Structure 1
Amino acid sequence: MSRSFLSILVFLIMTLGHAQENLVADVKVQGAKRTKTSFIKKIIRLQSGMVLDSTIILEDMERLKRLPAISHAYFQVFSADDKGRHNVFYNIEENFTLIPFANLFSSSNDDFAFRIGLQEFNLLGRNITLGGFYQHDVFNSYGISVRAPYLFSNKLGLAITYQDFTTQEPVFFDNTTADYRYNNKGFEVLGLYEFNFQNRIELGFSLFTEDYSYLSGATNEQVPQALNVDKHLFKLIYEFNDLEYFYQYLEGFRSQLNFQYVGSSDTSLPEFLIGFNDFTYFHRIGQKGNWANRLRLGLASNVETPFAPFTVDNNLNIRGVGNTIDRGTGAIVFNTEYRHTLVDKNWFVLQGNVFVDGGSWRNPGGGFGDFADSQNIRIYPGVGVRFIHKKIFNAIFRIDYGYGITRDASRGVVFGIGQYF
């Protein structure tokens, strides 16, 4: 049911009262099984006694469809009496939200690696996400997090994360490569605040320890073979979200800014700033098509270090390029793809896609001219397929094949859970 049709429907209903003022007698919620009705009434804007307003109702529909617990929402309006009052029914279709997951992939040295975990996206029926994971990728890692965006009110919430994450990371310097054992152990606390339906902010800090230990490969006197340092981080996330959801389809624009300040207990290490903004735009094409786009612009303190923060990686930005093949202190990445629904049943969707991923990076200590350097530019077209379960939140298994067409390009298959962006 489209927004235009809903707007016309509500307008016709509101004009039935002629000169009488159309008021809301009651807001009733139908279809809620695991989600608490009290929670839904807490976050929606329409309340008993208000003037019947189609703008508020449509906004509530989009707000509900953004919740992990809800796959779809629609409404009905019925006259309650002859005094111009109406009962409004909010009908929801729930997702299954207790989701185990398992990812299989190859590690940096081509050994078998995996990640398993479990997440509940609707804990206590109040849109609280609780999850944990265990990963084996040469080394063992684990983490746990809780996120409650409406913990204190319909605008204010909290998120807490703890992780002990260890990987084997390639480090690049002097046109050579070395492998390091990298460990990041710490916790993060974020306050979550929703200004209005489209604008929200996250603000908080984390305390963590970074530990780099040399394993093998090239060496350099200027590159330490061991580094263990306590760090603190302040984070700001600002999001503007004007997306409309209809099952697997998206329409609209979203912008998300992520800004971080990193300080260290080691005075010999400089303070560090990093910021990036993801712009995403989606457009429906016909009944079965969806055009999706993402542009990431990022800059960090331009320190000449082999441990630069922006990476070129299969799972983050360029499908088919390989696992962490380069690093930089700036990034420009553009992803565009056309998604087409091939099969759409009551619970299952098969979706195919064609895409082009492209990007460029600024070398550590380099200049903005690095973005135009052919050695830093990578373009990877490709094709993929999506297997989607419509009744389980984020149950999207994707397979993509990317083929590089720029200098010294590679090719490869990328697996994952959820849409790439």
Structure 2
Amino acid sequence: MKRIGFLIVLLAISLQSIAQELTVRKLYFEGLKKTKESTLRKMLDTEVNTPLDSTLLSTDIIRLKRMPAVAHAYFTVTPINESECEVKIGVEENFTLIPTLNLWTTTNRRLAYKVGLYEYNLLGRNLRVGGFYQHNGFDSYGVQFEAPTLFSRNFGLAFYHQSWKSEEPLYFDQASANYKYENISYELLGLFQINFRNTIAAGINLFKERYTYLSGHTAAQVPQRLDVNKKLLKFRYTYDDLDYFYHYVSGFKSQLYLQYVTTVNSYQKDFLIAWNDLFYFKRFGTRGNWANRLRVGLSSNIKSPFAPFALDNNVNLRGVGILVDRGTGSIVWNTEYRHTLIDKKWFALQTNVFTDIGSWRHPGGSLSDFVQAKNIHVYSGVGLRLINKKIFNAIFRIDYGYGLTANASRGFVFGIGQYF
């Protein structure tokens, strides 16, 4: 047995040595329909007339699978002669022209809707454009353009414009008031990929905010109308070591967000917002997926009803309600186990069980707020996912969250895409 084991090891070393001596004489793609071959070639480190490196090829495949246009990718190596080979990269493309529709109930129980249309692979060149219209008693819209590889594989630009109106609750003096909130913004970001795992985005957002009192509690120190121009400097750093196999994910990812907002008015001061999202995903068998997100955020601790971190159904705790509270600090852990019940060529049905745990620091409060029982919220529940594997991010989700802490609420949460 020892002799057989030695021969196997020797054979593996010999094969590796041969592979290292092979030169890539031809590299081609199979399965492309819309995406331009030149766009994909720009993403690869593997090139013609260079030594074959299977590790480099594997990294290239992961990079391709992160693109919205690619549902799945793989490679095969075929020797041409003793020193040369050809590499085929097989690609299964996503359908990337995606309409969106969301329905929900506003703070005053009014039915609201949001419709949009987004293209994630415009002209087959990894360009992303789209926009939305929203009606929730007020009319809002937004448009976006993202070109992550506009100048090279490593450098691109993104532009966003939004005119947003909504009715939102503000909390102060142990009570609340409803305000009409308006935000008109223009944002420009530079996108830079340092290497395979590390990317940064930085830029500026110029926006105008307006708060108009509608109903509820009033206080002398809180204005019934606030109209101010602001400037937001934005920075995002991403470490991404995730690997995708259709809707299954494994690996680790970290995203750090830094924002500095400048303004001139007597009710709001310049302030800094920072938060970090840590993601960890692990595969279990062929159909199980454990998913985790830990978000830790802090902002300038100004005692104001306009605090930036919200306690909300659609952001952090499923079942808690819409804009239940605000704070100047937030710690949230979302964990869920996803199990695929049906997995066909184009469709998958997935169920999940989850627990969402969060705590907030009140405006003007201390870090001890995070460990006070009244500020800790725990929700648990179950959900369902309907997944089209051939359309980018075509995951319809429904979750039912039930509060486990005192005076907690419960309810359904709908959306497109995984919760995190």
Distance 1:14 1:230, change over 3 A: farther
- Once the two structures are TM-superposed, the CA of residue 269 in structure 1 deviates from its matched residue by 3.5
Identity fraction in percent:
54
- Once the two structures are TM-superposed, the CA of residue 12 in structure 1 deviates from its matched residue by 6.6
Distance 1:143 1:85, change over 3 A: same
Does residue 321 of the first structure (1) align with residue 320 of the second (2)? yes
- Once the two structures are TM-superposed, the CA of residue 389 in structure 1 deviates from its matched residue by 0.1
1:29 maps to 29
Does residue 178 of the first structure (1) align with residue 177 of the second (2)? yes
1:15 maps to 15
Would you say the 8 A contact 1:374–1:407 is kept in 2? Answer: no
Would you say the 8 A contact 2:20–2:53 is kept in 1? Answer: no
Does residue 312 of the first structure (1) align with residue 311 of the second (2)? yes
Gapped regions of structure 1 (runs ≥ 5): 1-7
Would you say the 8 A contact 2:19–2:52 is kept in 1? Answer: no
- Once the two structures are TM-superposed, the CA of residue 266 in structure 1 deviates from its matched residue by 3.6
| Whole-Å separation in 2 of the counterparts to 1:250 and 1:272 | 36
Higher mean C-alpha deviation, range 26-35 or range 189-198: 26-35
| Whole-Å separation in 1 of the counterparts to 2:176 and 2:340 | 42
What residue identity is the alignment partner of 1:322? G
Does residue 55 of the first structure (1) align with residue 55 of the second (2)? yes
| Whole-Å separation in 2 of the counterparts to 1:151 and 1:233 | 24
What residue identity is the alignment partner of 2:153? N
| Whole-Å separation in 1 of the counterparts to 2:21 and 2:373 | 66
Count of residues in Structure 1 that have an aligned counterpart in Structure 2: 411
Does residue 66 of the first structure (1) align with residue 60 of the second (2)? no
Would you say the 8 A contact 1:14–1:52 is kept in 2? Answer: no
1:282-361 alignment runs, 5 A limit: 282-361=281-360
Would you say the 8 A contact 1:230–1:266 is kept in 2? Answer: no
- Once the two structures are TM-superposed, the CA of residue 231 in structure 1 deviates from its matched residue by 0.3
| Whole-Å separation in 2 of the counterparts to 1:330 and 1:250 | 29
1:80-95 alignment runs, 5 A limit: 80-82=80-82, 84-95=83-94
- Once the two structures are TM-superposed, the CA of residue 20 in structure 1 deviates from its matched residue by 8.1
Counterpart secondary structure, 1:61: helix
What residue identity is the alignment partner of 2:190? G
Distance 1:18 1:363, change over 3 A: closer
Distance 1:236 1:18, change over 3 A: closer
- Once the two structures are TM-superposed, the CA of residue 15 in structure 1 deviates from its matched residue by 2.4
Does residue 364 of the first structure (1) align with residue 363 of the second (2)? yes
- Once the two structures are TM-superposed, the CA of residue 80 in structure 1 deviates from its matched residue by 2.1
- Once the two structures are TM-superposed, the CA of residue 264 in structure 1 deviates from its matched residue by 1.2
Would you say the 8 A contact 1:14–1:22 is kept in 2? Answer: no
Does residue 76 of the first structure (1) align with residue 80 of the second (2)? no
Counterpart secondary structure, 1:72: strand
Does residue 403 of the first structure (1) align with residue 402 of the second (2)? yes
What residue identity is the alignment partner of 1:276? W
Would you say the 8 A contact 1:321–1:409 is kept in 2? Answer: yes
1:273 maps to 272
What residue identity is the alignment partner of 2:122? L
- Once the two structures are TM-superposed, the CA of residue 211 in structure 1 deviates from its matched residue by 0.3
Counterpart secondary structure, 1:386: strand
Counterpart secondary structure, 1:121: strand
Higher mean C-alpha deviation, range 265-274 or range 171-180: 265-274
Would you say the 8 A contact 2:295–2:333 is kept in 1? Answer: yes
1:355-394 alignment runs, 5 A limit: 355-394=354-393
Would you say the 8 A contact 1:159–1:190 is kept in 2? Answer: yes
Deviation sequence 1:145-185 (CA, Å, 0-9, x none): 00110000010000000000011000001111100000010
1:197 maps to 196
| Whole-Å separation in 2 of the counterparts to 1:20 and 1:372 | 56
- Once the two structures are TM-superposed, the CA of residue 22 in structure 1 deviates from its matched residue by 1.1
Moved over 6 A (4+): 11-14
Would you say the 8 A contact 1:24–1:86 is kept in 2? Answer: yes
Distance 1:58 1:168, change over 3 A: same
What residue identity is the alignment partner of 1:410? S
Does residue 152 of the first structure (1) align with residue 151 of the second (2)? yes
| Whole-Å separation in 1 of the counterparts to 2:265 and 2:305 | 18
Deviation sequence 1:187-245 (CA, Å, 0-9, x none): 10000000111000000001000000000000000001100000001000000000010
What residue identity is the alignment partner of 1:79? P
Across the aligned residues of Structure 1 and Structure 2, the Cα RMSD in angstroms comes to 1.6
| Whole-Å separation in 1 of the counterparts to 2:21 and 2:347 | 44
Deviation sequence 1:344-392 (CA, Å, 0-9, x none): 1111100000000010000000000101111111000000000000000
Gapped regions of structure 2 (runs ≥ 5): 1-7
Distance 1:81 1:17, change over 3 A: farther
Question: TM-score, normalization: structure 2?
Answer: 0.96
